[in-house]
């Protein structure tokens, strides 16, 4: 009998919706093979790797973020240091200026003082010189005048006191005339 | 496979238009195969072509994922990248979308295994020499639908207890008032009896119809290859190519729909009844 005709005859008896037992068993076995391998070994395998990959990517991102924040903080630190240095430099300059100014002022005051001292010393020296000169002069003039007067008058003036009084009066008269002459000038 | 060509091809190879033999239309017999081993009466170990394809298919799926995931790398190679994309599609695109990330994680292996298993079984349809979608034999969708059914029904009992599960199955809602008993009856019938049946048959019927169409145009291309029929044969052959491309699309869609429904059922089982 032709196998096709035989098959067709069999097909007439069979309902395509009624499953034959052997195929149910084979179908179950075939699916269980796939499910078993996937569920027990292969999918856990790949899940682990996917998780690792996710972590690796997130770890990379975290690392990059950390590096960026560090760079940021270093930059800020650097900027702060720079500003501080600038501030310090400005302060030093200011201080130097102030110091210079006080130094100049001190020097000026000192100079002034010294000048005044020198002037004062000069004045007193002058005064003393003048006084010494005038007293010396007074004695000399007195002596000269006395000698002159003695010679002229021809008499010795014994009375020393009177003599000196006379001389003084004469000199005072001289002084007076001198100061008068100075005042009128 | 057998040397007898009639066992490989689903139609007579020496029959053409005008040769006096009728059109060997595809039918239910196209989905029956001479056993490669044993026979249907239980003599010896019964083994036929769809069974071979089913086992071969599962070995291919496992082999693919084994090659991709057995020694996974942090920086994936090409194969691992492709497998990861497929895995991620089911995990994120189906499971997380329906059940949610927290509850769904447990069901990701089931969904992934279902998706790639069904897809592979469907793709056999357009693989040369194999040229048969394993899922067009009702037994295979029934096994898968039964696994899903057992999963979500047991999950409902575990989550809500007996009364809660009953309310969940029947969509118990007091606000329905007098219609409640009827609604409960319909819901119970729809959820527990119709749902697994349609779940399995949807996949089966799509692949069954697709394979029948492909067969129809393929047989027609060959059958009309005689005299004036050659022109019609060319048209039919174009249809074979178009249908093959269409089937490629349908195969992926049906695998996706099956897994999506699976996730929806599980989500319904986990949901609090309202």
Task: Dump pLDDT digits (tens) for B54-84.
Answer: 999 999 999 999 999 888 888 888 999 999 9
| pLDDT, average across residues B28-49 | 72
Residues of B in contact with A37 (CB under 8 A): 62, 65-66
Number of structural domains in chain B: 1
Give pLDDT, residue B211. 92
B41 — pLDDT class (breaks 50, 70, 90):
low
CB atoms within 10 A of CB B124: 25
Task: Dump pLDDT digits (tens) for B113-127.
Answer: 999 999 999 999 999
Among B212, B207, B62, CA closest to B136: B207
| pLDDT, average across residues A104-121 | 93
Any domain includes A36:
yes
Give pLDDT, residue B228. 80
Give pLDDT, residue B55. 92
Q: B253 or A160: which carries more pLDDT confidence?
A: B253
Position B2 pLDDT exceeds 50: no
What is the signed CA dihedral for B189, B192, B195, B199, rounded to 10 degrees? -150
Task: Determine whether the interchain pair B147/A52 forms a contact, defined as Cβ–Cβ distance below 8 Å.
Answer: no
| pLDDT, average across residues B167-190 | 87
Burial class (CB in 10 A: 0-12, 13-18, 19+), A133: exposed
Q: A8 or B19: which carries more pLDDT confidence?
A: B19
Whose tokens are 């200026």? That residue is A97
B1 — pLDDT class (breaks 50, 70, 90):
very low
Residues of B in contact with A28 (CB under 8 A): 143
Give pLDDT, residue B29. 78
Q: B15 or B127: which carries more pLDDT confidence?
A: B127
| pLDDT, average across residues A131-154 | 78
Q: What is the rounded distance in angstroms from the CA atom of residue A152 to the CA atom of residue B157?
A: 171
Q: B122 or B175: which carries more pLDDT confidence?
A: B122
B4 — pLDDT class (breaks 50, 70, 90):
very low
Any domain includes B152:
yes
Give pLDDT, residue B204. 93
Any domain includes B218:
yes
Task: Determine whether the interchain pair A8/B61 forms a contact, defined as Cβ–Cβ distance below 8 Å.
Answer: no
Entry pTM:
0.69
How far off is chain A from B62, nearest CA to CA, in Å?
6
Any domain includes A76:
yes
Residues of B in contact with A45 (CB under 8 A): 69-70, 72
Tokens, residue B85: 């994309």
Domain that holds residue A140: 21-154
Among B259, B256, B252, CA closest to B109: B259
Any domain includes A37:
yes
Domain that holds residue B266: 105-270
| pLDDT, average across residues B166-187 | 86
Nearest Cβ partner for B74 among A24, A37, A52: A52
How far off is chain A from B54, nearest CA to CA, in Å?
6
Instruction: Among A12, A34, A43, pick the best mutation site for testing chain B contact (most B Cβ within 10 A).
Output: A34
Any domain includes B61:
no
Task: Determine whether the interchain pair B69/A19 forms a contact, defined as Cβ–Cβ distance below 8 Å.
Answer: no
Any domain includes A85:
yes
3-state secondary structure of B47: strand
Any domain includes B57:
no
Give pLDDT, residue B8. 46
Task: Dump pLDDT digits (tens) for B93-106.
Answer: 999 999 988 888 99
How far off is chain A from B162, nearest CA to CA, in Å?
29
Any domain includes B98:
no
Task: Determine whether the interchain pair B58/A31 forms a contact, defined as Cβ–Cβ distance below 8 Å.
Answer: yes
Q: What is the rounded distance in angstroms from the CA atom of residue A74 to the CA atom of residue A83?
A: 14
**Do B34 and B48 form a contact (C-beta atoms < 8 A)?**
yes
Note every long-range contact of B32-41, with CB atoms under 8 Å and residues 24 or more positions apart, other chains counting. Answer: B32/A7, B32/A10, B32/A11, B32/A14, B33/B7, B34/A3, B34/A7, B34/B2, B34/B7, B36/B1, B36/B2, B40/A10, B40/A20
Any domain includes A69:
yes
Number of structural domains in chain A: 1
| pLDDT, average across residues B264-271 | 91
Any domain includes B263:
yes
Position A116 pLDDT exceeds 70: yes
Give pLDDT, residue B224. 85
Any domain includes B84:
no
Instruction: Catalogue the E-assigned strands of A33-144.
Output: none
A141 — pLDDT class (breaks 50, 70, 90):
confident
Any domain includes B165:
yes
Position A13 pLDDT exceeds 80: no
B139 touches chain A (CB under 8 A): yes
Whose tokens are 């394993």? That residue is B134
B111 — pLDDT class (breaks 50, 70, 90):
very high
């Amino acid at each position: 009998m032709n196998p096709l005709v035989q098959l067709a005859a069999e097909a007439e008896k069979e309902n395509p919706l009624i499953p034959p037992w052997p195929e149910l068993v084979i179908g179950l076995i075939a699916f269980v093979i796939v499910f078993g391998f996937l569920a027990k070994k292969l999918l856990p395998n790949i899940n682990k790797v996917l998780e690792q990959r996710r972590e690796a990517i997130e770890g990379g991102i975290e690392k990059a973020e950390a590096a960026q924040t560090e760079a940021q903080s270093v930059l800020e630190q650097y900027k702060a240091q720079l500003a501080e240095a600038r501030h310090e430099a400005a302060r030093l300059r200011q201080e130097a200026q102030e110091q210079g100014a006080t130094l100049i002022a001190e020097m000026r005051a000192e100079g002034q003082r010294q000048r005044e001292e020198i002037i004062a010393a000069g004045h007193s020296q002058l005064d003393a010189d003048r006084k010494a000169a005038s007293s010396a002069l007074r004695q000399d003039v007195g002596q000269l005048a006395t000698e002159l007067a003695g010679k002229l008058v021809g008499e010795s003036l014994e009375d020393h006191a009177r003599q000196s009084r006379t001389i003084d009066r004469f000199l005072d008269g001289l002084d007076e005339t001198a100061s008068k002459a100075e005042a009128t000038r | 496979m057998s040397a007898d060509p009639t066992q490989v091809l689903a139609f007579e190879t020496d029959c053409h238009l005008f040769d006096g033999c009728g059109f060997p239309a595809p039918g239910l017999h196209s989905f029956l195969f001479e056993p490669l081993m044993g026979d249907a009466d239980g003599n010896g170990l019964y083994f036929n072509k769809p069974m071979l394809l089913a086992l071969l298919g599962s070995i291919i799926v496992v082999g693919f994922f084994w090659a991709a995931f057995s020694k996974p790398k942090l920086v994936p190679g090409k194969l691992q990248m492709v497998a990861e994309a497929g895995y991620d599609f089911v995990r994120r695109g189906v499971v997380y979308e329906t059940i949610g990330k927290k509850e769904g994680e447990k069901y990701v292996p089931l969904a992934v295994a279902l998706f790639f298993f069904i897809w592979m079984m469907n793709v056999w349809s357009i693989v040369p020499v194999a040229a048969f979608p394993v899922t067009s034999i009702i037994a295979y969708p029934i096994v898968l639908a039964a696994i899903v059914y057992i999963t979500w029904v047991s999950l409902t009992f575990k989550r809500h207890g007996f009364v809660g599960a009953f309310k969940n199955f029947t969509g118990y809602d007091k606000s329905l008032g007098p219609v409640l008993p009827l609604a409960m009856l319909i819901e119970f019938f729809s959820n527990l009896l119709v749902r697994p049946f349609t779940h399995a048959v949807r996949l089966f019927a799509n692949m069954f119809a697709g394979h029948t169409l492909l067969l129809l145009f393929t047989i027609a291309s060959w059958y009309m290859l005689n005299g004036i029929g050659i022109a019609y044969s060319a048209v039919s052959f174009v249809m074979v190519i178009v249908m093959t491309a269409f089937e490629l699309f349908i195969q992926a869609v049906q695998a996706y729909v099956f897994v999506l429904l699976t996730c929806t059922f599980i989500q319904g089982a986990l949901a609090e009844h309202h």
